[in-house]
Structure 1
Amino acid sequence: MSSVLPSPHTRWWALVVLGLTQLMVVLDGTIVAIALPAAQADLGIADGQRQWVVTAYAVTFSALLLLGGRIADYWGRKRTFMVGMVGFGAASAWGGLAQSGAELIAARGLQGVFAALLAPAALAMVAVLFPSGRDRNVAFAVFGIIAGTGAAFGFLLGGVLTQYADWRWCLLVNLFFVIAGLIGGKILLIESKAEGDTRYDILGTVTVALSLGALIYGFARAEHGWGEPDTIGFLTAGAILMGIFVWWQGRTSHPLLPLRVIRDRVRGGAFLLQAVVGVVMVGAMLYLTFHFQLVLGMSPLAAGFGNVAMTGVIMATAPVSTRLFTTFGPRAVLTAGPLLTAAGLFLLSGITAEGSYWSEVLPGLVVMGLGFSLIFVPLQNLALAGVDPHDAGVASALANASMHVGGSIAVAVFTALYTSSLTESLTQGAGKLPALAGAHGDVFFAAAWVMTLGAVTSFALIRGPKTGMLPPVDAVAAH
């Protein structure tokens, strides 16, 4: 095998293709949120099933990401990317043509399966194409900005498609991304794979998938009560299975998740912060879209545009965030970012039924945008810094999985919190809109404390030179 990389010109065009893939995967976590009321009415989906249109994607994605990363490492990253693209397109077409709620949920789950192949393959190929230096920092900054703005872009695109076309186009639009990805991937991407031991860890795959599924389902059942036997049973089973998974990873000679990937203090802190970010970007922002439509009476398009302020702030301040990262280093930046984001969420927690978007929502979104800008620019780079080439795919998978596991659990927990708060307010005689606004505010308040915990985690675990130049990943041999 040779270690020859493509020309600089080709590398940057390849980054465009991989960036579009990342955008598709991230926005699919949120694009259907805006369309949910319309899809629910069209397909007769019950309120209790509604969250699974979002969660089914996140659960299968999270549960299979580590396996997807290993498949990318062992089978070939370009090959895995291309197969993932085809499968994702097929699942999107099925979902867009679904005739029942169960069919839509199943299609969303299948999307997650193929996204679990796509995402780690794409991120690992960025590490391959940009092994070190300033170009690597720029490439990961681009990927980080896409990860940060993709969710909000999903809300906007979902609003446009739902209002002016049909909610089904929120899934069918993926076909355009898939076609572009397949053509660009065939022309521009190089093949690479890990050397040495390439055996798969079947027991590890089964235990981690069952563990995450049990935990997320258990949190979802908490909507009916934390003390219910099935809630306790699933959460207990999930925790036991996760313990078995971790124990096995330290024993087997071919682990699904080599513990060396997470034992590094800085990288472990980055993975934890990814999970915290998922709590807000997937869990809390879902309830902001509900507030826009159910309390403020916005159309799907207006609700989509309601999130643009945060996205705009992230994009506008990204160059400044990059300089701050270079000047002050990762610890300072990744502590300040979560604190700012938490401050924005505390502002949002004060929303009322009588308040307007401009007075009660916009200020919080602007502050959150400033905070997220500081987080997204360095986070992807930090999560992969210094990873052994053999583990590039699985580390990329863990970076993605952390965010989506956080989001999946957040949707479930926040649904339980929302239901409890709403029921209590209505029982006490509050009107429907004030009760809804109060329940949404409680979700944002809880998310703010989670993000504050993220700041504490960053301060305690993340270290790095003030130059912001993190240890490079060695170039992976390409063939």
Structure 2
Amino acid sequence: MENMNPEPATAAHRAAILAIILASYFMILLDNSVIFTALPSLQADLQLGTGELSWVQDAYTLVFGGLLLLGARAGDLLGRRRVFVFGLVVFSVASLLIGLAPSGWWAISGRAIQGIGAAIVAPASLSLLTASFPEGRERTRAVALYGATAGMGASLGLVIGGALAHWISWRAGFFVNVPIGAAMIALAPRFLPETGRARGRFDLFGALSATLGVGALVFGIINTADAGWASAATVTAVTAGIVLLVVFVLIERRAAQPIMQLRLFASRRRAGAYVARFLYLGAMIAFFFFTTQFLQEVLGFDPLQAGMGFLPMTAVNFAVAMGIPRLVNRMPGSIPLVAGILITLAGMFWLSRVGVDSSYLTDVAFPMVLIGAGQGLAFAPLTSFGIVGAPAADAGAASGLVNTFHQVGTCLGLGIAVAAAATVPAAGAAAAHLAAQVSAALTTGSVLLLLALAVTAALILPADLAARRVLIPLGAAPAPLAEAAR
């Protein structure tokens, strides 16, 4: 594929590209979390049961995660800017439909359509970013800001969702996407580079088996909260999910043009980054989902106060993330990554000790500061290692895998945390029971972070240090040597 537009020549042009990509990516990540602080208002307005309410989130993340690889492939074949704009149109229209939703199932269907748009925009945005910024300092800074956006989108979504639900309506959190999406749709053709169409086929069977496999697995895990692990529905769903994912891998091994290039896992750094991202995001979704409930149902915060309650994490996250580009230019990126996961783990474990008598300042805000600092350190290196060394022809596939493991980690992490919380027996007052459930869920999140730390230490750290030793004496390592060091 070749660029149809020339490489951007000015700093202002590159700044416009970065702004469009980050604003679009921020918008779709915002909807992963903007709903959390607004869930009680939405539930009351649309008269949803607990099970239906969970699908307001799960419909989005399941479709998002399940179709990401197909979305990445679409960008490679049809042109990344063209696909990016189409995804923004789908996402913006779906946001409008959710804001107008007269019923729960209308809202859930709209969230699924939103997931389709997000699955198109997310991989295209990262591919356009890597195509627009040359290797070196500029790309390092751009990728760092992209990674920071992932953390801040989740954090600020809680603040924005709580504020809008308190002052206006839960619907405003979706209406706000419409003018932002329209602005990005108008600006993208003017500034973003286009890639030409390429000959190829869509791996529809691979996409279908991946989406159904992840969906069945998540459904089975979530179903344990009500029916337990021994129920026929749980066993059937989990078994079907595992079988379908095995089928997916077999399809990808034999497909002439697979949506998931298995060769991308040959790099220890990339493979480690995908698995570590999966585990890290599984822990973070448990933190967001259950801490929001703790603030409102145990500490008595209203939606606005609950959203503002996340500001210590958000502020620290932003401050640390802004320093990452300078940091990774001075040391191997695996060092801040290990430090970030370790600091996040410390904050998560501290927060998991909450109880019905906990105070916000000492038991919630202080751990949040650690979690925010850890996020600020970890997200950018995780993103960078997910695309490091990927051939230009696989840029879309590598970007798709970064976002796929992000969203699938979110789906499965939430299911595992909900299942862990459901093991807490009901006893005493409702607030005390919920506090115990939150503690169990966040303890589970701590275990996921510990596993992410182990994966990073075993795969990413040694490979990154080895690559660093090859690159430093050579100044710029030839591709075969750089790849061997991975």
Superposition TM-score, scaled by structure 1 size: 0.94
Task: Give the alignment partner of residue 329 of structure 1, picking from 321, 328, 332.
Answer: 332
Match in the other structure for 2:459: 461
Match in the other structure for 1:111: 114
Distance (whole Å) between structure 2 residues aligned to residue 321 and residue 425 of structure 1: 44
Match in the other structure for 1:124: 127
Q: How far is the alpha carbon of 1:377 from its aligned partner?
A: 2.5
Distance (whole Å) between structure 2 residues aligned to residue 16 and residue 345 of structure 1: 32
Task: Give the alignment partner of residue 450 of structure 1, picking from 448, 471, 477.
Answer: 448
Q: Give the paired residue count.
A: 467
Distance (whole Å) between structure 1 residues aligned to residue 205 and residue 365 of structure 2: 48
Instruction: Determine whether 1:49 maps to 2:52.
Output: yes
Match in the other structure for 2:177: 174
Match in the other structure for 2:246: 243
Secondary structure of the equivalent of 2:170?
coil
Question: What pairs with 1:10-21 in structure 2 (closer than 5 Å)?
Answer: 10-21=13-24
Q: How far is the alpha carbon of 1:170 from its aligned partner?
A: 1.2
Match in the other structure for 1:211: 213
- Percent identical: 33
Question: What pairs with 1:119-268 in structure 2 (closer than 5 Å)?
Answer: 119-193=122-196, 195=198, 197-223=199-225, 224-268=227-271
Query: In the TM superposition, what whole-angstrom CA distance separates every residue of 1:79-109 from its partner, at most 9, and x where no partner exists?
Result: 1111111111111111111111111111111
Task: Give the alignment partner of residue 89 of structure 1, picking from 69, 86, 92.
Answer: 92
Structure 2 counterpart of 1:96, which letter? G
Equivalent residues of 1:204, 1:249 under 8 A apart? yes
Distance (whole Å) between structure 1 residues aligned to residue 436 and residue 139 of structure 2: 44
Query: In the TM superposition, what whole-angstrom CA distance separates every residue of 1:9-53 from its partner, at most 9, and x where no partner exists?
Result: 212211101000110111110101111000001111001222111
Question: What pairs with 1:27-66 in structure 2 (closer than 5 Å)?
Answer: 27-66=30-69
Superposition TM-score, scaled by structure 2 size: 0.92
Equivalent residues of 2:354, 2:435 under 8 A apart? yes
Structure 2 counterpart of 1:434, which letter? A
CA RMSD of the aligned region, Å? Answer: 1.9
Distance (whole Å) between structure 2 residues aligned to residue 377 and residue 453 of structure 1: 19
Q: How far is the alpha carbon of 1:393 from its aligned partner?
A: 1.3
Match in the other structure for 2:384: 381
Equivalent residues of 1:133, 1:472 under 8 A apart? no
Q: How far is the alpha carbon of 1:407 from its aligned partner?
A: 0.8
Secondary structure of the equivalent of 1:257?
coil
Pick closer, same or farther for the CA change 1:198–1:472 going to 2, 3 Å. farther
Secondary structure of the equivalent of 2:35?
helix
Distance (whole Å) between structure 2 residues aligned to residue 204 and residue 159 of structure 1: 39
Secondary structure of the equivalent of 1:402?
helix
Mark the runs of 5 or more structure 2 residues left unpaired by the alignment.
Answer: 480-486
Distance (whole Å) between structure 2 residues aligned to residue 51 and residue 263 of structure 1: 37
Mark the runs of 5 or more structure 1 residues left unpaired by the alignment.
Answer: 474-479
- Whose relative contact order is higher, 1 or 2, with alpha carbons under 8 Å and at least 6 apart? 1
Q: How far is the alpha carbon of 1:333 from its aligned partner?
A: 2.4
Q: How far is the alpha carbon of 1:466 from its aligned partner?
A: 4.6
Match in the other structure for 1:476: none
Structure 1 counterpart of 2:296, which letter? Q
Query: In the TM superposition, what whole-angstrom CA distance separates every residue of 1:356-411 from its partner, at most 9, and x where no partner exists?
Result: 11011011101111211210122212111111112211211110111111111122
Distance (whole Å) between structure 2 residues aligned to residue 404 and residue 2 of structure 1: 30
Secondary structure of the equivalent of 1:235?
helix
Pick closer, same or farther for the CA change 1:64–1:441 going to 2, 3 Å. same
Distance (whole Å) between structure 2 residues aligned to residue 43 and residue 218 of structure 1: 26
Distance (whole Å) between structure 2 residues aligned to residue 194 and residue 310 of structure 1: 43
